[in-house]
Structure 1
Amino acid sequence: MNTKMFCYQCEQTVGCTGCTGNAGVCGKKADTARLQDELTGALIGLARAVDGAETISKRTSQVIMEGLFTTVTNVSFDDAAIETMIQKVRAEKERLVPDCSKCQSSCGKTDEYDMQQLWDANEDVRSLKSLILFGIRGMAAYAYHANVLNYEDAEVNRFFCEALFKIGYEESVETLLPVVLKVGEINLKCMALLDKANTETYGTPEPTAVTLTVEKGPFIVVTGHDLKDLQLLLEQTEGKGINIYTHGEMLPAHAYPFLKKFSHLKGNFGTAWQNQQKEFDHLPAPILYTTNCLMPPKSSYADRVFTTEVVAFPGAVHIDEKKDFTPVIEKALELGGYKEDQILTGINGGTKVTTGFGHAAILSHAGTVVEAVKAGAIRHFFLVAGCDGAKPGRNYYTEFVKQTPSDSIILTLACGKFRFNDLDLGEIGGLPRLMDMGQCNDAYGAIQVAVALADAFGCSVNELPLSFVLSWYEQKAVCILLTLLHLGIKNIRLGPSLPAFLSPNILNFLVKNYGIAPITTPEEDIKTLLNHNK
């Protein structure tokens, strides 16, 4: 195995250039990173095998989605699990192209791709290929969640193959740039699909106050994003005297009517994902990881960690596709939970948070919002959204929200909101100034609100008194950013640092054509953004 690695797909990468040592900042070892590259190369080989096909089978699509999702940061740290996924991809290619692996000639269509070719490519080509690859990795997570609920889109499935194929074959900026923007276009369809899957399965989210208090007695903490896993756990724990608490991006689950009916779905535990090693330390309860957001567990709680779906960590008990959560339930009963109620707080001292302001909830008050803008009661909207992380400087987003003027509305989504979602910022015309729209994939809802407001005022989204202030960490943020670019949205503020995989030329292209800029200080950015539409 190699003793060195190269990875720069997340925001925390060393020196904003790349993790190149024996392990990444995320905790992955060099061998694990090498296996992720091998898996990606195998996926490109599978995409080559189906190139030109009018339809992609559900089986092939699922393998590609699982493979891409496995390579997202903070998903799988288990070399054995990744190796199994590699063999699954190769078996699918063999099924489509029998005896391909035995052939001695290089036909150019089914060979696996050597990722070293990408890392060694011209910096602009490498930059564009990285945007495509990291974008479809993030999109695969959204498609995967929709697929779990039996929703799929043939165009989305075909594009995964198209994008992988382009990574393996195209070698010019001119041919790769349109593919980058197409990632954003197809991701919009993918997010719409997941929005439909979630709302048709669990109902339309409703504004809901969620307590941060943990009641005494046995409980289970569920983290990640997958609502189906939460549903199954709630059903299997009903009547067993075990309470369920969400964590991180699972918080918005409290707003869905179908899930709210379970009385033992009690509240939310902890704050953002990067605080888990501190907040889970000696936790008297098991933690179920359903998607990304896994950090290497400390020994003090490693025996309480359970994984499912593509999430994996060496030594952790994995709940397979049968979805029998008995081991998690037994561990909760064994540990017993807290002896007394624990009144916990958010980062800013609040004892509850509110979620459920999806696009349907906000647009139900569209008339009120429009009139408030016309009357001058609402001067500006800020979408302060995206991923959180451990790097210093992310307190910018807390200070930004605190310093927004009292006649502005803050829309938020994804895990970055945990830096400020327990703040009480008051109301405007009966509407809270701070509205949590949900998970990262609910960026689709924010787009729907922006489009509806633009229609109401007879202008473009870029002419609205609306500013995008985004934080990014991993690949789902990449595909959302590409969707915003596909829609022509300009003047986005991005931080806490710019992606390491943006070459100077590609960054200049984004600045020139879309006005993307790094965050500076809350005071300066608020001043600039408020004056933008004047």
Structure 2
Amino acid sequence: MFCNQCEQAAKGVGCDKIGVCGKTGEVAALQDLLIHAVKGLSQVAVEGRRVGVTDPKVNRFTSEAIFSTLTNVDFDEKRFENLILECERFKKSLEADVKAAGGTVPGTDTSWIQKLVARLTGNGGDFKILPTLPMKARDLASMTALGETVGLLDGPDTNPDLRSIKQIVVFGLKGVAAYADHAAILGQEDEAVYAFIHEAMAATLNPDLSADELLGLALKCGEVNLRAMELLDAANTGRYGHPVPTPVPLGQKKGKAILVSGHDLKDLELLLQQSEGKGIFVYTHGEMLPCHAYPGLKKYGHFYGHYGTAWQNQAKEFDAFPGAILMTTNCIQKPKVSYQENLFTTGLVGFPGVRHIADKDFTPVIEKALALPGFAEDVAAKEVLTGFARNAVLSVAGTVVDAVKSGAIRHFFLVGGCDGARPGRNYYTELVEKIPADCMVLTLACGKFRFFDKDLGKIGDLPRLLDIGQCNDAYSAIQIAVALADAFECGVNDLPLSMILSWYEQKAVAILLTLLHLGIKDIRLGPSLPAFITENVLGVLVEKFGIRPIADTPDEDLKTILG
């Protein structure tokens, strides 16, 4: 295996034996094979659109399949086997529709299919029989072996810089696919988003694209990701209302308990509906904290508070939680034996040996919570504020503008992004602690758990620490920045605003591409730069956008920013 898609790539280069995330070489190979298969499906989908053929099921499958390969989503080999076979079924069906409409099926690289059939049948055979093959253990072994031949280092790209930019595109597409899937679950879709995903996936197979063309494709990925996040914002606010500033208790209530982690609001809503009146308190974990600010979710009386911190601490925090645990979307880690029986997955997330709830009937989760002891007594603790999404902040925009003009607010810092376990992330805690009292701190995503419970005081009536929400709420942060720029009649880059971001996985890559698409410059990124960005590609990003690594200490960055 070779995987360098996340911030914790081994030795800052790539994982080649087992993923730091915990995925095995077998799962890595299956993910590589699935991405390769989706590229072939995408070629057919592009030709289909040219002759007026589209399939909504192919669109949804594409985003789900790509999302499944994002870091810490799915570790289950069997599910990847099913996805690969399903991809080929979709491809075969779509090819027939395209040909019937007068289209020409592209000359896709089907050698991997033929190799797979050769392994499965022993005689080469016709790749068209693949969808009807029985799924046996030898099928999975053959897919795994084949996946090892289509990975990053086994592909045709020998130019490291071109390969690097293609990786940026593919990893950005993983983030776009994730946000598109989140939005589609709540009924918000845009054909143009799916069309771009197919076009860009297919384009990565084109050996003739130049570095400039590939960089343009990466920036286009950022543009489309902005649309995907807009769809998700409309989906969440349309169903649950706009977030409002809300204090969230960090303590516990005596009684039975369920903990919900991940990102998915609809899963939480369904669980709240199904557990209502059963004497169970529901708590959030990780990126689910901002859910407490949505009127459509906070109305449930048994939706109590937040437990724990970010995803990388779940082994310790889940082990101590005395109830059932539901993982939605990404961020799962290999569970400890001590709590594996209490853990459930749903949606695209999965782990071998963990019970999966595919039909959204969370009865097994509720029954497990009732069978477990729950919290023995009330435990009082501090509260944290969340819910400062764009509507909440823009409702006091006049106050903010006046505070800037009067000098009460000197500077804004957006400090957020993905958290992780790599040493050096204490930089973000120290930074926030040292940001002067006349500066505001905006935050989002799980990076905030380095400092989310700190009391930074107020500037006038405004809390100095404003939690905008989940990682996808970068859309809100962008809208806030644009509105402030309009109010001051300047560009976003002219605002007294600095973005100091942490990254871990591919949603963060997509958001970074969105910021670059918008022309936002001088972003500081840490705790380390992506292993998949070569020195030459980094040089281009520095020259065009001023992107830079965080300094060795927060003091250095604060001195540079504030002077």
Per the TM superposition, whether the score is higher than 0.5 is: yes
The aligned counterpart of 1:184 is: 222
The 2-side partners of 1:343 and 1:25 are apart by 36
The aligned counterpart of 1:226 is: 264
Cα deviation for residue 133 of structure 1 reads 0.5
Cα deviation for residue 460 of structure 1 reads 0.6
**TM-superposition CA deviations, 1:110-140 (whole Å, max 9, x none):** 6377344548531111111100100010111
Q: State yes or no: 1:417 paired with 2:448.
A: yes
**Unmatched 5+ stretches in structure 2:** 99-104, 113-149
Q: State yes or no: 1:53 paired with 2:85.
A: no
Cα deviation for residue 74 of structure 1 reads 0.3
Cα deviation for residue 30 of structure 1 reads 0.3
2:240 pairs with 175, 182, 202, which one? Answer: 202
Identical residues among aligned pairs (%): 57
Please state whether the residue corresponding to 1:393 is helix, strand or coil.
coil
The aligned counterpart of 1:103 is: none
Cα 1:284/1:163, change in 2 over 3 Å: same
Please state whether the residue corresponding to 2:416 is helix, strand or coil.
strand
Residue identity matched to 2:399: T
Cα 1:518/1:70, change in 2 over 3 Å: same
Are the aligned partners of 2:311 and 2:331 in contact in 1 as well (CA < 8 Å)? yes
The aligned counterpart of 1:324 is: 361
Q: State yes or no: 1:156 paired with 2:193.
A: yes
Please state whether the residue corresponding to 2:231 is helix, strand or coil.
helix
The aligned counterpart of 2:24 is: 29
The aligned counterpart of 2:179 is: 142
Larger Rg: 2
Q: State yes or no: 1:443 paired with 2:474.
A: yes
Q: State yes or no: 1:523 paired with 2:555.
A: yes
Q: Which runs of structure 2 are paired with 1:375-394 in the superposition (5 Å)?
A: 375-394=406-425
TM-score, length of structure 2 as denominator length: 0.89
Q: State yes or no: 1:7 paired with 2:3.
A: yes
The 2-side partners of 1:108 and 1:494 are apart by 40
Please state whether the residue corresponding to 2:510 is helix, strand or coil.
helix
Once superposed, what is the RMSD of the aligned Cα atoms? 1.5
Q: State yes or no: 1:278 paired with 2:316.
A: yes
The aligned counterpart of 1:348 is: none
Q: State yes or no: 1:407 paired with 2:441.
A: no
Please state whether the residue corresponding to 2:341 is helix, strand or coil.
helix
2:532 pairs with 501, 504, 525, which one? Answer: 501
Cα deviation for residue 170 of structure 1 reads 4.0
The aligned counterpart of 2:79 is: 81
**Unmatched 5+ stretches in structure 1:** 101-105, 345-350
Cα deviation for residue 527 of structure 1 reads 1.3
The aligned counterpart of 1:485 is: 516
Cα 1:119/1:271, change in 2 over 3 Å: farther
Are the aligned partners of 1:217 and 1:338 in contact in 2 as well (CA < 8 Å)? yes
> When the two structures are aligned, how many residues end up with a matched partner?
514
Cα deviation for residue 402 of structure 1 reads 0.5
The aligned counterpart of 1:19 is: 15
Are the aligned partners of 1:290 and 1:309 in contact in 2 as well (CA < 8 Å)? yes
1:44 pairs with 35, 39, 55, which one? Answer: 39
Residue identity matched to 2:15: C
Cα deviation for residue 99 of structure 1 reads 11
Cα 1:142/1:354, change in 2 over 3 Å: same
Cα 1:118/1:181, change in 2 over 3 Å: farther
Cα deviation for residue 177 of structure 1 reads 1.4
TM-score, length of structure 1 as denominator length: 0.94
**TM-superposition CA deviations, 1:33-53 (whole Å, max 9, x none):** 000000001100100111233
